[in-house]
Structure 1
Amino acid sequence: MPDAFRPVVAAARTRLPEIYGTRLHSAYLYGSIPRGTARLGRSDLDLLVALREEPTDADRRAVGALGAALDARFPQIDGVGTLLHGRDRLLSDLERHDLGWFVACLCTPLLGDDLAAHLPRYRPDDPLLARETNGDLALCLPRWRERIAAAEDTDEARRPLVRFMSRHLVRTGFTLVMGRWQGWTSDLREMADAFGAYYPARAAQLRTAASYGYDPVGDPAVLRRYVDDLGPWLAGEYARVHGVKAPRDTP
């Protein structure tokens, strides 16, 4: 981890137990900071928090407030993204090949007992893993269109949408080919390169999306291309190759 980001991580490690107390089971880092590739003032802090029970709306507001406070306090980061789930959900059969895999293979323990000890050893060529990690893009696209339509007509309002959707599309493209690539990574550019080796006609689009995942723009044309072209194509190809993700009670 780059030294400049250690105070940010230390603050998150201190504040999470203060917020959730004994209800906190564990917490994890993922993304560019634990990977050692974070850039000052450009990278965000990515956290996954596991509670001993399912989180409430108040829990989600609390972790959102923590993210806003850390973002305001530390100029080293550009935003905080936090996944908040209950322990039982993360270890459930339904999530074993989605959130469970994410915890076991892409997360770095920060606090508490590592849930990876209760999860299986995963193989990148498991078709169930590919289906369950990103087989729901078609369900996401209508919600994305609603978010785009509701956003303010400013670059500042659109940039977070571009970053979020870029990352989702690149990760979907990567897991489409993960079994053939025979490995996994959380680096967006490496994901796009792996995808491009198997889908050269779409390689440039995914490499551009990977770039926007790190340095988003506020161009509305980018969002339109995501929901009208790249997204629908990727959803269709994913369903053709791997099938559709098992339904969840909540999005």
Structure 2
Amino acid sequence: MTHIKSIGRFCPTDDNGYIINDSSLKKIKPDFYEVIEEVIEKYQSHLRADLHSVYIRGSVPRGFDIYNVSDLDTIAVTKNDINDIDLGWVHKAEQELNKKFNFVNGVEFSLYSIEDIIDTTTFSIIPFMIKTHSVCVFGEDLKVYLPNYKADKTIGNEHLVNLKNQVEQAKDDLDGNEDIEDILDCCGWIMKIIVRAGLALVVEEENQYTRDLFPAYKVFSKHYPEKEAEMKQVLKYAIKPVDNADEIIGFLNKFGNWMISESEKWLKLHNPKKVSNLKI
């Protein structure tokens, strides 16, 4: 039985409603020091002069990580276009660190060019994550060049506009899949997306945002009490993924499809002039 702990909180905000980044180097637990050092070394050895900066995002720099459960999510910013950089080393580097540091649920490498980060003419989740949920551990911190963000429909759009495609992708990846590790990864990935999409459905009413799964589940359930049991199951799948592909597909065919329907209603309501252009 998966035990759900009341862990996490909503992002703090200032007097104007802008999200405050509560990540800090001081909040990173000593167990992660060596992992982070090796992450930086991997980026440096492969990117060399192309490496601009490295960030740790998520629960670890906020002090909410759980031993053997939390991932170590990293972002590297490059000076040149990603398409011009050899990324063939990334998967192997992740595997090496995952094998060496088994108290981490997974080390994730992700790379974006500096142009992608500082171009904020339209909302993009990575600049948002750097500004609100990350701490810089190497290089120049780009937060000062990024705008402030509020918990509003812009974030809701980001979480909901691709939900249908993400659920369908998960089902396609799971169908006939016999790779246990791949099934577990896919289960955890799509269920985290669904929990956060649940929060997005009520972000306008709540004016609060979090990446943490438990508070997202709780606030969704407050507005959709009839769906609390299903979202609780999503949370359990996210915390402790299962390797039964047919079970996951069956669940996605039911609750996943309901979430897609609700997301389409939300997008039409909050983007009446743009809905014809939305790929939903």
Category of TM-score, reference length = shorter chain: 0.7 to 0.9
Percent of matched pairs sharing the same residue: 22
Larger helix proportion, structure 1 or 2?
Answer: 1
- Partner in structure 2 of residue 171 of structure 1: 196
One of 161, 169, 190 as aligned partner of 1:135: 161
- Partner in structure 1 of residue 220 of structure 2: 195
- Partner in structure 2 of residue 41 of structure 1: 68
Provide, for residues 1-23 of structure 1, a one-character-per-residue CA deviation record: whole Å limited to 9, x for no partner. 22222211122123212221121
Contact 1:137 1:231 in 2 (8 A): no
Provide, for residues 35-60 of structure 1, a one-character-per-residue CA deviation record: whole Å limited to 9, x for no partner. 22323333221112222233248643
Point out where structure 1 has 5 or more consecutive residues left out of the alignment. Answer: none
**Closer, same or farther: CA 63–246 of 1 in aligned 2, 3 Å:** farther
CA distance in 2, matches of 1:135, 1:78: 28
- Partner in structure 1 of residue 135 of structure 2: 108
The higher radius of gyration belongs to: 2
Contact 1:90 1:96 in 2 (8 A): no
- Partner in structure 1 of residue 237 of structure 2: 212
2:79 is the alignment partner of 1:60? no
Contact 2:175 2:245 in 1 (8 A): no
**Closer, same or farther: CA 177–53 of 1 in aligned 2, 3 Å:** farther
CA distance in 1, matches of 2:86, 2:224: 41
Contact 1:97 1:128 in 2 (8 A): no
CA distance in 2, matches of 1:51, 1:247: 30
CA distance in 2, matches of 1:82, 1:134: 24
Number of residue pairs matched by the alignment: 246
Point out where structure 2 has 5 or more consecutive residues left out of the alignment. Answer: 1-27, 269-274
How big is the alpha-carbon RMSD for the aligned residues of Structure 1 and Structure 2? 2.5
Residue type of the alignment partner of 2:195: V
TM-score, normalising length: structure 2: 0.78
TM-score, normalising length: structure 1: 0.86
